[in-house]
Amino acid sequence: MTVSVREVAALAKVSVGTVSNVMNRPEKVSPDTVERVQAAIRTLGFVRNDAARQLRAGRSRSIGLVVLDVGNPFFTDLARGAENRAAEAGLTVLLGNSDDDEERENAYLDLFEEQRVHGVLISPIGDAADRLARLRERGTPTVLLDRQSDNHNFSSVSVDDPAGGYTAARHLLEIGRRRLAFVGGPVSLQQVTDRLAGARLAVAEQPGATLEVIETAALSVLEGRAAGEALLARAATARPDAIFAANDLLAMGVLQALNMNGQVLVPGDIALIGYDDIAFASAAVVPLSSVRQPSELIGHTAVDLLLREATEGADAEHEQIVFQPELIVRASTGG
Ligand code: RIB
């Protein structure tokens, strides 16, 4: 049997409006009344009906967040930043994991729209522009994460991935490596193509340097491990002398394969750099050099933009915020 607001008001000897104020605007109620109402709520086991409140308010107090891979600490750090900023505005975050699957991505977008979320933050798999435009036209503000909105139709928060790829490859060249390999994929992912493009630019500027591309099926530890084992199967002279992995999970997998082999030393034989600078990078058996993305700040900033769009409505001006990546040098490249 569900407990009603009226029963809480009767037990606490206050009006229904005062109960609502205690739950939504406690600063407007005297402390002892707040305590008396909260005691009545605990005694009766009252749970507020957010669906009814949503119907009245037209919007839920939640933000829908769709990430590419919830197993990647980059996205959980990003989610933490979004959650902290949302909490400051009295909002919560509902996390959905598309797992690089467009059907799952669309299912979450449908669910968040039906739930009338306050807005949607999404790191899209492919070109979701049409689907996201419909979402916004029907009243759900949307901000792109980790992907710049190049036609300025959406607000977005991302990192300059071409610059990040250039920085990673330039660092390997500056420590004297010349036979570089880029390990990453699928190349259909914008983050991968942008990082590779930056690396190609750096290599093109260095006489005598080469860049081999080893495409992977995903940006995962297992795919990195497989790429590392494939390199070990080559003759030593056919291996690269440096590897730029498109993210830290791949780099961790490559490091695992090389380290377990024991014959090939990092960085002595092969220097290794990743991307994201997740917590595991500094804790790796050979501390991993990486290109840092401000993951929590990306999440925090995206909620800022979303709140502004939710307030300003359909004619809100869209803003594309692009952070610059930062080179973090550790033992895996001789730091
Ligand atoms: O999801 C793939 C990658 O893109 C993550 O590792 C992070 O680098 C993001 O930008």
What's the average pLDDT block by block, 10 residues per block, for the chain (335 residues)? Answer: 88 92 88 95 85 64 96 97 97 95 95 93 89 88 88 91 98 98 93 97 98 97 97 97 98 96 94 97 97 98 95 85 97 96
Sign of the dihedral through C-alpha 226, 230, 233, 235: negative
The pLDDT value recorded for residue 137 is 87
Predicted pLDDT at 147: 86
Q: What is the pLDDT of residue 3?
A: 87
Q: What does CATH list as the number for 161-293+327-333?
A: 3.40.50.2300
Is the domain covering 5-48 a CATH 1.10.20 domain?
no
Neighbours of 114 (CB within 10 A): 8
Give the model's pLDDT for residue 313. 79
Task: Count Cβ atoms below 10 Å from residue 204 Cβ, excluding itself.
Answer: 11
Instruction: Output the CA 191–ligand 1 centroid distance in Å.
Output: 7
146: Cβ below 6 Å to ligand 1?
yes
Tokens of 125: 């798999």
- Report the CATH superfamily, name and number, of domain 60-158+295-323: Response regulator (3.40.50.2300)
289, 171 contact by CB (below 8 A):
yes
**What pLDDT score was predicted for residue 316?**
82
CA of 74 to the centre of ligand 1 (A): 7
Distance CA 290, CA 272 (A): 9
Q: CA–CA separation, 214 vs 185, rounded Å?
A: 8
Ligand 1: residue of 68, 123, 157, 292 to mutate (most ligand atoms within 8 A of CB) is: 68
CB within 8 Å of 5: residues ≥ 6 apart = 16, 19, 20, 46
Cβ of 112 below 6 Å from ligand 1: no
User: Which residue spans of the chain are classified as CATH 1.10.260?
Assistant: 5-48
Beta bridge pairs of residue 276: 292
- Spatial neighbors of 23 by CB under 8 A, at least 6 apart, are 48
Q: Is 191 in the pocket of ligand 1 (CB under 6 A)?
A: yes
Pocket test for ligand 1, best of 77, 147, 223, 247 (most atoms within 8 A of CB): 247
Q: CB neighbours (10 Å) of residue 286?
A: 16
Q: Helix, strand, or coil here: 318? A: coil
Quick one: tokens of 278? 């997740």
- Contact predicate 265/311, CB 8 Å: no
Q: What is the DSSP letter of 99?
A: T
* CATH 3.40.50.2300-classified regions of the chain: 60-158+295-323, 161-293+327-333
Residue corresponding to tokens 């002279």 = 237
Name all contacts of 306-310 with Cβ < 8 Å and 24+ positions apart. 306/63, 306/118, 306/119, 306/120, 306/121, 306/141, 306/142, 306/143, 306/155, 307/89, 307/119, 309/119, 309/141, 309/142, 309/143, 309/155, 310/59, 310/118, 310/119, 310/141
The pTM of this model reads 0.84
Ligand 1 center from residue 276 Cα (angstroms): 7
